[in-house]
């Protein structure tokens, strides 16, 4: 009824609907821009919420390898000093190995057998 008030009394409902379509209106729930508005908007909202949550509790988003990988730097210092051969793979020095690494350790183990426990000495 409110839309009909904008038009003269002689205008029919078909003319009112066509006028709304000409002006860019629509009467559907899934309007032409629903995907970009609601799907991408939801994803952006989730990311924004996560960022605000990180900021509120002080989580540092910077990746600093000097802080996050101290055990790897310890291995590199031992290689630089000559305590461990430079060509010795890092997976032979860590505590846990997956199946593929265990297979390679069995194949090349005698080559580096003198240095296998180098990280446990302290």
pLDDT tens per residue, range 17-50: 555 555 566 666 677 777 888 899 999 999 999 9
Say if pTM beats, i.e. exceeds, 0.85.
no
Least Cα distance to 119 among 89, 79, 75 occurs for 75
Q: How far is residue 95 from each of residues 59, 85, 118, measured CA to CA in Å?
A: 29, 18, 11
Distance CA(99)–CA(106), nearest Å, equals 11
Mean pLDDT, residues 76-86: 89
Beta carbons within 10 angstroms of residue 115's beta carbon: 16
Please report which confidence band the pLDDT of residue 106 belongs to, taking 50, 70 and 90 as the band edges.
Answer: confident
Can you say whether the dihedral through the CA atoms of 84, 90, 93, 99 is positive or negative?
Answer: negative
pLDDT of amino acid 40: 92
Mean pLDDT, residues 5-15: 53
More confident residue, 81 or 61: 81
């Amino acid at each position: 009824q409110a839309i009909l008030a904008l038009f003269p009394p002689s205008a029919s409902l078909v003319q009112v609907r066509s006028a709304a379509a000409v002006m860019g209106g629509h009467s559907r729930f899934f309007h032409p821009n629903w995907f970009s508005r609601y799907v991408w908007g939801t994803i952006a909202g989730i990311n924004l919420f996560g960022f605000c949550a990180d900021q509120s509790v002080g989580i540092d988003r910077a990746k600093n390898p000097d802080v996050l990988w101290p055990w790897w730097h310890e291995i590199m210092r031992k290689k630089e000093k000559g305590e461990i051969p430079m060509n010795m793979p890092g997976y032979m020095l860590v505590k846990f190995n997956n199946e593929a690494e265990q297979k390679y350790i069995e194949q090349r183990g005698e080559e580096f057998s003198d240095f296998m426990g180098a990280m446990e000495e302290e």
